[in-house]
């Protein structure tokens, strides 16, 4: 069995780690890195820390508009797949790398496996939603992380080739958190204490590229009488700098503005946070895994289970709602086993081997 795996962004590297390990015990994997994320802190550090083999192909696409970036990927991915002739191609999540990989693979009549299929925010203004929908409808194997994802696919007429496997990100988190607790010194390095800080991440275009939304979030963070740790995504830093908002954060003594950190350091920051404020889908899940209250800076989420179970609250960019959630959102409700048993990677590999 020869599998080509296409990744390009931080969340995909995390999901790749446990699945690649299991896959290489059963067959040959050709690893293709599009270069969508290329800074060391957003790319290479994950390969180093998680023991992921270096990519067989690094396409070095880099940043650009959605159309230009996706177009470059289409051309370069096609060249690799024509050369390698894999039996199946795996794509992950909802990035432009996912979309480009699915489109090229479908045109070449090679079966596609979509890891994390069936997620829906039902917001077509999000580029990630377009990427998810198109990839699912082109895939031969839809590896759904939750029953909700299976139900979403059924609503769209996709029933054949759908497999409820659980979430590979849960696999990764279970494997890595104990390593992080023993290895990471990030709290001491930052001079912070367990459960005495808020962790913030921000990268969605709907927040970073719309000035009013970005300004509202910055104002809300600036007015909090809490210690705030904010590892800033490179694109977010540029948006903050270009809009003149970065200095407001850097001048605030309650805020620690920093470059992105490695996987183990970030996991520990999540695990020990008092609360997490984010617009990331993956971090909403990790907060749920670690039973840390999550305040989502969006109007919707593809991970509805985290909201249904009471561990996630949607506040958008409204300053008052952000403040209310920081002061008053204190969940203690029961969690369901909605993300599987930590063996999603094994199940996906078994399905591919049977194929």
**Which of these, 114, 120, 104, 3, lies nearest to 56 by C-alpha position?**
3
Query: What is the CATH code for 2-167+340-354?
Result: 3.40.50.2000
pLDDT value at residue 44: 74
The DSSP string of 17-73 is: HHHHHHHTTTSEEEEEE--SS-SGGGTHHHHHHHTPPPPSEE----S--HHHHHHHH
Q: What is the Cα–Cα distance from 143 to 141, expressed in whole angstroms?
A: 6
pLDDT of 37 over the 90 cut = no
| Ramachandran sector of residue 61 (left: φ over 0; alpha: ψ -120 to 50; beta: rest) | alpha
What are residue 282's DSSP bridge partners?
none
Band of residue 111 on the pLDDT scale cut at 50, 70, 90: very high
pLDDT value at residue 38: 56
- Position with higher pLDDT, 65 vs 30: 30
Q: What is the Cα–Cα distance from 189 to 209, expressed in whole angstroms?
A: 32
Q: How many helices (DSSP H) and strands (DSSP E) are in the chain?
A: 17, 13
pLDDT of 195 over the 70 cut = yes
Asked if 197 and 191 touch (Cβ cutoff 8 Å), the reply is no
Kindly state which CATH superfamily the domain 177-328 is placed in: Glycogen Phosphorylase B; (3.40.50.2000)
Question: In which residue are the tokens 């300004």 written?
Answer: 215
pLDDT of 64 over the 80 cut = no
- H or E element: which one contains 5? strand 2-7
Q: What is the Cα–Cα distance from 238 to 46, expressed in whole angstroms?
A: 22
Same fold, 2-167+340-354 and 177-328: yes
The half-sphere exposure of 195 on its side-chain side, counting CA atoms within 13 A, is 5
Find the mean pLDDT for residues 91-109. Answer: 97
pLDDT of 40 over the 60 cut = no
Asked if 138 and 103 touch (Cβ cutoff 8 Å), the reply is yes
Q: Tokens for 351, please give them.
A: 């399905």
Q: Over the stretch 325-348, which tens digit does the pLDDT of each residue have?
A: 999 999 988 899 999 999 999 999
pLDDT of 187 over the 70 cut = yes
Band of residue 11 on the pLDDT scale cut at 50, 70, 90: confident
Find the mean pLDDT for residues 246-262. Answer: 92
Domains of the chain: which residue ranges? 2-167+340-354, 177-328
Q: Tokens for 274, please give them.
A: 């008092």
Find the mean pLDDT for residues 17-30. Answer: 95
pLDDT value at residue 235: 86
Q: What is the Cα–Cα distance from 42 to 51, expressed in whole angstroms?
A: 15
pLDDT of 41 over the 70 cut = no
Q: What is the Cα–Cα distance from 53 to 35, expressed in whole angstroms?
A: 15
pLDDT of 350 over the 80 cut = yes
pLDDT of 36 over the 80 cut = no
**Which of these, 144, 135, 142, lies nearest to 339 by C-alpha position?**
144
Burial class (CB in 10 A: 0-12, 13-18, 19+), 188: exposed
Order across the sheet with 112-115: list the strands. Answer: 57-58, 28-33, 2-7, 88-92, 112-115, 141-144, 162-164
Q: Over the stretch 130-170, which tens digit does the pLDDT of each residue have?
A: 999 999 999 999 999 999 999 999 999 999 999 999 999 99
Output phi, psi for 71, to 5 deg: -60, -45
Find the mean pLDDT for residues 243-260. Answer: 93
- Known catalytic residues are 203
The half-sphere exposure of 140 on its side-chain side, counting CA atoms within 13 A, is 14
pTM (whole model) above 0.75: yes
How far CA 55 is from CA of 69, 160, 347, in Å, comes to 19, 31, 24
The DSSP string of 170-221 is: HHHHHHHHHHHHHH--HHHHHT--TTSSEEE----HHHHSSHHHHHHHHHHH
Question: In which residue are the tokens 């399905």 written?
Answer: 351
Find the mean pLDDT for residues 12-38. Answer: 91
CA-CA-CA-CA torsion for 88, 42, 318, 338, nearest 10 degrees? 40
């Amino acid at each position: 069995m020869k599998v080509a795996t296409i990744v390009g962004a931080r969340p995909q590297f995390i999901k790749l780690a446990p699945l690649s390990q299991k896959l290489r015990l059963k067959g040959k994997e050709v690893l293709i890195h599009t270069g969508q994320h290329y800074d060391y802190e957003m790319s290479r550090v994950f390969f180093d820390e998680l023991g992921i083999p270096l990519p067989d192909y690094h396409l070095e696409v880099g940043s650009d508009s959605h159309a230009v970036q996706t177009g470059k990927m289409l051309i370069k991915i096609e060249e690799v797949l024509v050369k390698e002739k894999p039996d199946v191609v795996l794509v992950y999540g909802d990035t432009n790398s996912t979309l480009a990989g699915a489109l090229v693979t479908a045109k070449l009549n090679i079966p596609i496996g979509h890891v994390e299929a069936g997620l829906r925010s039902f917001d077509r203004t999000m580029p990630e939603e377009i990427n998810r929908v198109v990839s699912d409808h082109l895939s031969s194997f839809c590896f759904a992380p939750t029953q909700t994802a299976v139900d979403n696919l059924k609503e769209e007429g996709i029933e054949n080739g759908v497999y409820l496997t659980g979430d590979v990100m849960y696999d990764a988190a279970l494997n890595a958190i104990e390593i992080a607790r023993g290895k990471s010194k990030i709290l001491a390095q930052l001079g912070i204490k367990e459960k005495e800080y808020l962790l913030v991440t921000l990268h969605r275009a709907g927040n970073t590229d719309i000035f009013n939304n970005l300004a509202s979030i910055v104002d809300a963070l600036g007015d909090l009488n809490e210690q705030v740790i904010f590892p800033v995504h490179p694109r977010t830093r540029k948006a903050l700098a270009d809009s003149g908002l970065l200095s407001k954060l850097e001048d605030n003594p309650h805020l620690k503005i920093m470059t992105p950190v490695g996987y183990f350091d970030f996991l520990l920051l999540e695990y020990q946070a008092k609360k997490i404020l984010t617009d990331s889908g993956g971090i909403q899940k990790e907060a749920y895994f670690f039973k840390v209250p999550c305040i989502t800076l969006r109007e919707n989420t593809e991970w509805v289970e985290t909201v249904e179970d009471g561990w996630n609250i949607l506040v958008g960019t409204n300053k008052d709602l952000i403040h209310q959630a920081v002061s008053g959102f204190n969940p203690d409700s029961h969690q369901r086993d909605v993300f599987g048993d930590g063996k999603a990677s094994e199940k996906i590999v078994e399905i591919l081997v049977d194929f």
